[in-house]
């Protein structure tokens, strides 16, 4: 029964060992049987938290533009251990993260053109904060983008 549950869950989408263990617990599978099935699937490479974490970081960073902090929180929420989380998010360097933040700001910039600089800054900073970017990086990227538009942002609430 445990094997069938795990196979079904893995065919829907990749899962971490912790997610699968939780699903088995919810279905009242005895812990010994669950551990045996999870151990065997791990040996076969069907459960691999390291590969899951790497794929998650690549997908969510490039697809949704999430920063290291947000990615780490999502992985921890899915039961990935701290060392694996750290290794996975460290694959993103600060240049990649800054470039992604620039792309996000550039996409949102056009929709804020009718607003005053403070409101634009607040909205752009909020969007980046929700995606896990630090305020320092967010304000630097926003300042650069507004400077390119010829908007002087000094004294407009920038730190």
Position 148 scores a pLDDT of 87
Tokens for 113, please give them. 């053109």
**Beta carbons within 8 Å of 64's beta carbon, 6+ residues apart:** 131
* Residue-wise pLDDT tens digits, 90-146: 998 889 999 999 999 999 998 888 888 889 999 999 999 999 999 999 999 999 999
**Buried b or exposed e, range 86-99, using 16+ CB within 10 angstroms:** eebbeebeeeebbe
pTM equals 0.81
Q: How far apart are CA 101 and CA 85, in angstroms?
A: 21
Position 153 scores a pLDDT of 64
135 neighbors 120 (Cβ within 8 angstroms): no
Confidence of residue 154 (pLDDT cuts 50, 70, 90): low
* Residue-wise pLDDT tens digits, 16-46: 999 999 999 999 999 999 999 999 999 999 9
124 neighbors 151 (Cβ within 8 angstroms): no
CB hemisphere CA count around 105 (13 angstroms): 28
Of 44, 42, 51, the closest CA to residue 20 belongs to 42
């Amino acid at each position: 029964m445990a094997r069938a549950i795990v196979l079904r869950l893995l065919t829907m989408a990749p899962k971490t060992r912790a997610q699968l263990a939780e699903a088995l617990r919810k279905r009242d599978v005895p812990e010994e049987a669950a551990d045996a099935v999870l151990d065997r699937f791990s040996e076969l490479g069907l459960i691999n938290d390291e590969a899951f974490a790497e794929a998650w970081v690549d997908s969510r960073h490039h697809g949704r533009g999430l920063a290291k902090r947000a990615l780490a929180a999502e992985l921890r929420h899915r039961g990935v251990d701290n060392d694996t989380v750290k290794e996975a998010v460290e694959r993103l360097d600060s240049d990649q993260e800054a470039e992604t933040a620039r792309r996000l700001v550039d996409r949102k910039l056009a929709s804020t053109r009718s607003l005053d600089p403070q409101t634009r800054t607040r909205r752009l900073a909020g969007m980046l904060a929700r995606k896990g970017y630090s305020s320092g990086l967010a304000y630097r990227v926003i300042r650069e983008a507004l400077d390119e538009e010829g908007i002087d942002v000094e004294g407009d609430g920038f730190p």
